[in-house]
Structures are given as structure tokens and as C-alpha cells.
Amino acid sequence: MPEVTMVTALNTALGEALAEDPRVLVFGEDVGELGGVFRITEGLQRTFGRERVFNTPIAEAGIAGMCVGLAMAGWRPVAEMQFDGFSYPALDQIISHIAKYRERTRGRIPMPVTIRIPSFGGIRGKEHHGESPETYYVHTAGLRVVVPSSALDAYTLLHGANADPDPVIFLEPKSRYWSKEEGELTTDGPGIGVARTLREGVGCTVISYGAMIGRCLEAAERLDAEGIGCAVLDLRSLSPLDVDAIGRSVRSTGRAVVVHEAPLTLGMGAEIAARIVEEAFDHLEAPVKRVTGWDVPYPPASLEHGYLPSVERIVAAVREVVSY
């Protein structure tokens, strides 16, 4: 079986999108000759030329705003924000226009736009390089928000994003960029909006996305040794949220732990816990537990291990929920 990293998987998906659809444009800061600071666009400018793959000035609002005009001119922008923490100047254009344009024109002007944002922590980065911005986008009507947890799924989801008629915010877990995975790249996987059960179990449902999935799986292995079987649900898509899959799993296990890097308050865990109450209240054997980042700014590199949900914290949370 071939081995791929998320960087390779994303690069391949972008190259195929450029090859398959002559209207796809890839642009952003340093995405040209350099191939982006994470090399996701490596070699694409040489293959597809400077008109299809190009650098922009450092202007995030400009990059997002140009997506609107380019989409109106019939192009399919696939833009890169260099880092989560540098993407905030683009929020106005994304929230006020990219998300709303289809609705405000009664469907006349759709926004088939993909905005890729290297996100989340765990790479010993400087401040502004470890942000979890998902809630801002999930709270904005009109956007799809996607977070892959593995190389193979990143490929499937990016193809899904680039084929979506509506705007997709594609949050890439930086800490997973270089993790290797064995398997064939395929677009046959589940689409945007569908969660995946990565592991079956009857004792507790562990719900997560992105880089934390790896830790959840590791925690599940450890708990298995204690006789606690965990189902691990990879959301993949935060908007739309696969509420049915969440409900189904929690109704069968009766217990749920939600794990994410983003701070606790009004993080995805809050929404998921509320959905669980709506979907599975009668089946709950214990209160839903959240294992998240703290309500603090993302810490400096030397302290990030204490911020990110650790395998130990996840294990402890599941034990607590199971022994409730």
C-alpha cells in the first residue's frame, strides 16, 4: 500500500482539481514558487502556470474579497490563508459576503469558493499560529466547515470542497500535515456533512475532529485494555453537523465525551452536547463531558501540551462518564 502524508494528499487533490476543472484558481500568500509555507501547493504553479496558481500580496481581506469577484466572473477560487491567526482580516469578507451572497441574490449568484486555512495547534508555533477558529465559521449561516483528521480523508474532503456549489472553509490540522497514512487516495469516501465512525464500541461515544482524533483513538485503545469499549466518531464536517450520526451513536452507548482543541466556552462541544440532549436524552446514562482547550489564548510552545486535550484527560473523562 502506498504511504501518503496529508501534505501530499492535499497537494494531489489541488493538482487534480486544477487539471479537471479549467476554472479552478489557486492563490494566496507564497503559494507560487515556494509552494506555500507548508508546501501544500508545491509544484502547482510550474504545472499549471502563473495565471492559475499565483501569489497575492499580503492582504487576507483582499484575498477573500477577490474570491467574490472571481466567482462572479465564473471562476472557482481555491484560496489559501497562510495561518489561522492571520485569517481574521478576511472574516468581514467571508461573513458579510462569501457566506451571504447566494442568499442575498436569491440563489442567482452562488459562491463556489474554497478557503483553506492551516489551523489548530500542536506544532510548537508562535502566538497567532495555533488558533482554533472553527466556531466563528460554524456560527455563520451559508458556510460549510470541514476539518479532516487524516491524510486520506483530507484528500476526499478537499475534492468534496472543490466540487461543492457553496463556500467551504477547509481547516487543515497543521499538526497532522506530516503524519503518514497507508492507503489509496479516493474520492469515494463519505461526502461533506457525513461523520465517520472510526471505531465501534458500546461503553461511550467519543466525538471529535481534526488532530484530536488521533488522541481519541489512542485513548480508546488504552480504555479497551480496561474493558471500556469506546466508539470514536470523526465529525469531519462541523457545518453541516451530522446530528443523526451523533444521535445514533449516543443512543447506543448512552454516554458521550466531546474532544476539541478550541476553548471550552461556546466551542463545538457546547453545540454537540445540546444536540445530544435533543437527540438522545432518554438514553443518556451520564452527563456529556467535554475535554477541550482552556478559555485562554493559545499558549506559547513550551506550555501547549498542557492546553491541548491529552490522551490522559480523554481517558479520565471517559472513565468518569462510564462510572457515573
Q: How far is CA 13 from CA 49, 78, 83, 108, 124, in A?
A: 17, 11, 20, 28, 27
Q: Which residues pair with 28 in a beta bridge?
A: 55, 80
What is the closest distance, in whole angstroms, from the C-beta atom of residue 110 to another protein in the complex?
Answer: 6
Judged by beta carbon, residue 74 or residue 306, the one nearer another protein is 74
Q: Report whether 150 contacts 213 (CB < 8 A).
A: yes
What is the closest distance, in whole angstroms, from the C-beta atom of residue 125 to another protein in the complex?
Answer: 25
Judged by beta carbon, residue 97 or residue 290, the one nearer another protein is 97
Q: Which residue has the cell 508546501?
A: 39
What is the closest distance, in whole angstroms, from the C-beta atom of residue 115 to another protein in the complex?
Answer: 13
What is the closest distance, in whole angstroms, from the C-beta atom of residue 244 to another protein in the complex?
Answer: 7
Residues in contact with another protein by the rule CB under 8 A:
25, 51, 56-57, 59, 61-62, 64-75, 77, 89, 92-93, 96-97, 100-110, 141-142, 144, 165-166, 193, 239-241, 243-244
CA dist 269 and 223 (Å) reads 21
Which residues carry out catalysis? 129
CA triplet 8, 185, 26: central angle to 5 degrees? 50
CA dist 94 and 159 (Å) reads 21
